[in-house]
Structure formats: C-alpha cells, structure tokens
Amino acid sequence: MGARCFAGISLNDTTVRELTRIRDAIRADAPDWRDEKWVLPQNYHITVQFFGTLTEHDLALLQSGIGEVVASTEPFTLHAEKVQAVPNSRRCGMLWVQYLDEGHHFAELVAKIQQAASAFGILPDERTAVPHITLCRARHPKAIAGGVPFLGSARTENSALMGSDRALGRPMGGQALSVSVASVTVFTSVLSPRGPKYTEIGAWPLCGKADRAETG
C-alpha cells in the first residue's frame, strides 16, 4: 500500500495569516467566488515536486536522496509578486499568490529534487517552475471581475503584493508574504470529500556551501 506524496516549502504563521487575510478580502470583493474550493489555511504551501504514489520503502529511499541534494543548496528568500488568475481573469480555474524567482534559486532547487526523484522513475515536470501558493480552485472556470484589483503586478522595491484591501482598509502583502526557504518538507496527501489532508513526514535543511565547507 502506497501513499501520495510531494515535496514542498512550509510557511510560517505570519505568512499564513496574511494569506488568509488576502483570501477573505478577495471573497469580499468577488461574492460569486465564495462557494468555490478555497484551500484551508493549514494546507498553504509552495509545491516543489509531486511524486505520485510511492511505497513506504521507496519513500524512505527518496527522502534520503532529497536530504543529500538539498545539503548543497543555500537558503534563499522568495518575495510575493502578485495574485494570479490562472490561466486568466476571464476564465479563471485557480487563484495563486505568485512569487518572484530572483536568482533562479527556486528553479535550481526544483531541478535537484527532480534529479533525486528520477531514480524512482518519476518524470520531471517540463513546465517552467513557478513558485506559488494556491488559494482557490474553481469548480468550473469562471470570470473573477471583482478580484481584478488584486491581480496587478508589484511595483515596489521589495516586490510586495499590490492592491487595495478595501475589506480591511490597509495595503496587503509586503514582508509578511515573504517566504524564507531554509528547508524542504515531504508531505503525504490523503484525499477526502472535505478536501485533501497534508501531513508532514520529514524536513531537510538547506545547508549551503559555507556549512558544507565547515563540516569537511
């Protein structure tokens, strides 16, 4: 019996609270989206790689491989860019908070995880790796006219999320949405009528070049 699993980046409580505030503001601006499939705050994460269903034995070996490849990776920070309607605001299937991959650190991390997964016959995703946090999945693609003010790209030096938070009367995003990537977590995923339940089964730190040199 196997388990569905994936590698991802966990979020701190501050980021989860800010994402929840953004979710509430969008739902207030777009009432017809309130009954769509909104991700529970405890499930917010940035996906690195889906692995599909693995046996307990293969999962243990894969985790060991992940630990080895991330040990050579330096920690980095992702900054929020925008709330993105996917594929567009006229026929939206998902809402993301999308992050900038400055320095291509996230893409490099994804490539390393994919390399570890390839030993188990897991094919890499050929699409460009875009770091994002999924807020909502539409039951059927639909327009999100009310949410358009939340879809603008950032124009501030720290790439903070732009948009007027009319529901709460203050700007959204900023440093509260920044994600410090210091480890990679492996999750199992169990589907249910109420939505998926993710369980963290292990986390591996990004040690970086300096730490490797010190440990010899």
Lowest mean pLDDT among 31-40, 53-62, 151-160: 151-160
β-pairing, 132-142 vs 92-100, is antiparallel
Q: What is the per-residue pLDDT for 122? A: 87
70's CB contacts (< 8 A; 6+ apart) are 109, 112, 113, 183, 184, 204, 205, 206, 207
Mean pLDDT for the chain overall? 82
Residue 71 corresponds to which tokens in the numbers above?
């040990």
Contact 144, 95 (CB under 8 A): yes
* Cβ neighbours around 35 below 10 Å, total: 9
Please give the DSSP secondary-structure letter assigned to residue 129: P
Q: For 167-177, what is the mean pLDDT?
A: 55
* Residue 144: per-residue pLDDT: 86
**Pairing outcome for strands 197-205 and 37-38:** unpaired
Amino acid 146: pLDDT: 56
| Distance, C-alpha 169 to centroid of its chain | 27
Question: Distance between CA atoms of 180 and 10, rounded to whole angstroms?
Answer: 9
Model pLDDT for residues 51-82, shown as the tens digit of each residue: 999 988 899 999 999 999 999 899 999 999 88
As a whole number, mean pLDDT of residues 170-198 equals 82
pLDDT of the residue at 209? 65
CA atoms within 13 A on the CB side of 99: 31
Answer with the residue of higher pLDDT: 149 or 168.
Answer: 149
Choose the weakest-confidence range: 133-147, 149-163, 199-213.
149-163
φ, ψ dihedrals at 160, nearest 5°: -70, 155
Task: Assess contact for 9 and 179: CB atoms under 8 A.
Answer: yes
As a whole number of angstroms, the distance between CA 50 and CA 53 comes to 9
Domains of the chain with bracketed CATH = 3-215 (3.90.1140.10)
pLDDT at 6: 95
- Give the model confidence (pLDDT) of 81-127 as tens digits: 888 899 988 899 999 999 999 999 999 999 999 999 988 888 877 77
* Burial status of residue 7 (CB atoms within 10 A of its CB: 0-12, 13-18, 19 or more): buried
Check residue 1 and give its pLDDT: 65
pLDDT computed for residue 14 by the predictor: 93
Whole-number pLDDT of residue 211? 40
- Output the pLDDT for position 165: 38
Q: Rg of the chain over CA atoms, in angstroms?
A: 18
